[in-house]
Structure 1
């Protein structure tokens, strides 16, 4: 199972939001590149990056900074936040990003998602961010009356290479992921799933592995690292366990 340490970038700094609220953030490192180096030095091969400025504005605000991380370290990187055009996807792919995460643009416009999956085979991930089983968009500022599972059924055959499932109520709260909802999604999805939101301890990693669910590709760990609830050396041991 893949473990994705997280870097969320806002104002060129490494931050975490609480429940996705942009006015409720904690700055953990003034240098995202320095944070990426920490992960790299511990042997992590996968990295989850979100351009929070991009998610809010709908533009790829921090692309140059993310490009620097991609150039400096040999990570398999997935990037999301503000990616709403084919041109933006291409720019990220061209600088060596492994998978581009489409969120709001794909939820609002399924044709865009289908076109992107067709043009960039095995490089498009879908970010499904939900609150109480319903999708949210625009940096989680707008809640839609669309059930996650209903939407997924509509796009299941597009060739999505990965689905990142985030429970907004769990994000940054360190109360363990919403495993019940994740397992429901694995039953419907044709694509592998990466769990996001709520990881609080190494036990959550072990529990995820214990499901032995072939649809669960990996898990994203963010705030629990930054707050010291999960030590990087502990987490690194789980890479090969």
Structure 2
């Protein structure tokens, strides 16, 4: 199972939000590249990066910071936030990003995602962000009437690499991962699932890793790392053992 340390960007700074609320941001640093190097030094081979401003604006707002992260980190960088056109996707792959996460556009223009998944094999991740079981879009500001399972099933057999499932109600709050909903989604679709939202410690990593053979590909963790509640090296070692 892959452990993805998260670097969320707002105004060029490294932040974490509570429940996706831009007004509830905690700043953890002003040098995203330095943070990427720290995660590399701890043994991470993957990063999950989000352009939070881009999620709301619908286009890249932290390009310089993302490019600095890609240049500083020798592993794989997965990027989301405001990526909604073929030109956006192509531009980020050319900049060295390994995988692109698409959320809002996946709901509003699923054909676009399917086209990109075919063109960039193994490079497209669909974000299934849920509030009370329903898909949220536009930086989680809007909640649709589409369930997470219905959303996910739209992309089966489309060549999508993974689904990134986030329980918004837990994100950034250290409440623990919504294990039941995450595993249920993995069991009901044929696409690997990445868990996100609420990781509070090593126990979450352990429990999720037990379901790796049922479709849990990885887990994203942010605040627990920044607050010192989770040791990244220990999390990576546990995930590797399982």
2:42 touches 2:232 (CA, 8 Å); kept in 1? Answer: yes
Q: Give me the whole-angstrom Cα distance separating, in 2, the residues matched to 1:102 and 1:161.
A: 11
The alignment status of 1:118 with 2:108, answered yes or no, reads no
Question: What do the CA deviations read for 1:33-59 (whole angstroms, capped 9, x no partner)?
Answer: 111111011111010000001001001
Equivalence map 1:155-166=2 (5 Å): 155-166=155-166
> Which position in structure 2 is the counterpart of 1:145?
145
Runs of 4+ aligned structure 1 residues displaced above 4 Å come to none
Whether 2:101 is the aligned partner of 1:101: answer: yes
Question: CA 1:170–1:118 in 2, change beyond 3 Å: closer, same or farther?
Answer: same
CA displacement at 1:30 relative to structure 2: 1.3
Structure 2 CA distance, aligned partners of 1:236 and 1:191? 23
Partner of 2:10: 10
Gaps of 5+ in 1: none
**Alpha-carbon shift at residue 118 of structure 1 (Å):** 1.6
Specify the SS of the correspondent of 1:213. helix
- Matched position secondary structure for 2:194: strand
- The 5 A counterparts of 1:224-235 are 224-235=224-235
Distance across 2 between alignment mates of 1:90 and 1:64: 17
Q: Deviations over 1:199-235 (max 9, x none)?
A: 0010110111123434111111101011111123433
Structure 2 equivalent of residue 55 of structure 1: 55
CA distance in 2, matches of 1:13, 1:68: 12
C-alpha distance in 2, partners of 1:236/1:215?
18
TM-score, length-scaled by structure 1? 0.96
- In 2, the alpha carbon distance for the partners of 1:137 and 1:146 equals 11
Question: 2 CA distance for matches of 1:212 and 1:53?
Answer: 32
Question: For residues 36 and 54 of structure 1, what CA distance do their matches in structure 2 show?
Answer: 20
Secondary structure of 1:139's partner? coil
Q: CA RMSD in A?
A: 1.2
Task: Kindly report which structure 2 residues correspond to 1:67-106, keeping only aligned pairs within 5 A, or say none.
Answer: 67-106=67-106
Q: Do 1:152 and 1:188's aligned partners in 2 also have CA atoms closer than 8 Å?
A: no
Unaligned runs of 5+ in 2: none
Secondary structure class of the residue paired with 1:240? helix
Distance 1:184 1:27 in 2: 33
**Rounded Cα–Cα distance in structure 2 between residues aligned with 1:91 and 1:151:** 26
The residue aligned with 1:65 is 65
Structure 2 distance, partners of 1:233, 1:161, is 26
